[in-house]
Amino acid sequence: MKILIYGAGVQGSLYGARLYEAGHDVTLLARGSRLADLRAQGIILEDRISKRRTVTRVPIVDQLSPYDKYDLAMVPVRREQIGDVLPTLSAARDIRSVLFMHNHAGGSDQLIAAIGRERVLLGFAGASGSPPGRCR
């Protein structure tokens, strides 16, 4: 399965690293300073309890083309960011399924209208964390 993680925040980085470490074909989409950090350092994860640190270098892209092909796009972005990513995801018709991983309290009509009922999957991230330098 070819997987795109659309968003490289805490959730996207965690799921991207763990899926990649498990042997899946994963690509992480990142932008701005986060893109530069990931290219320079990889995904650095630290377990809060054991303090064990891992560094994983997942393939990274800075954009999604309408012609890119993925079996699954995982979208772990904040609810207020969904409107910004829908046009790009809608244009990428060669993504079979799009898993939105955010609070769906406002409903999923907007997602279904943009992506199509047959491609939309709804989920909720089951892990938490904080970016480096915050909430320590």
Q: What averages of pLDDT result for each successive group of 10 residues across the chain (136 residues)? A: 95 95 97 95 92 96 97 91 93 96 80 94 76 47
Q: How far apart are CA 44 and CA 132, in angstroms?
A: 9
Q: How far apart are CA 101 and CA 78, in angstroms?
A: 8
The pLDDT, as a whole number, for residue 129 is: 65
Domains of the chain listed by start with CATH number: 2-123 (3.40.50.720)
pTM: 0.88
The pLDDT, as a whole number, for residue 128 is: 64
The pLDDT, as a whole number, for residue 135 is: 37
The pLDDT, as a whole number, for residue 17 is: 96
The pLDDT, as a whole number, for residue 136 is: 36
The pLDDT, as a whole number, for residue 78 is: 83
Long-range own/partner contacts, residues 113-120 (CB < 8 A, 24 or more apart) = 114/86, 114/87, 114/89, 114/90, 115/86, 115/89, 115/90, 119/95
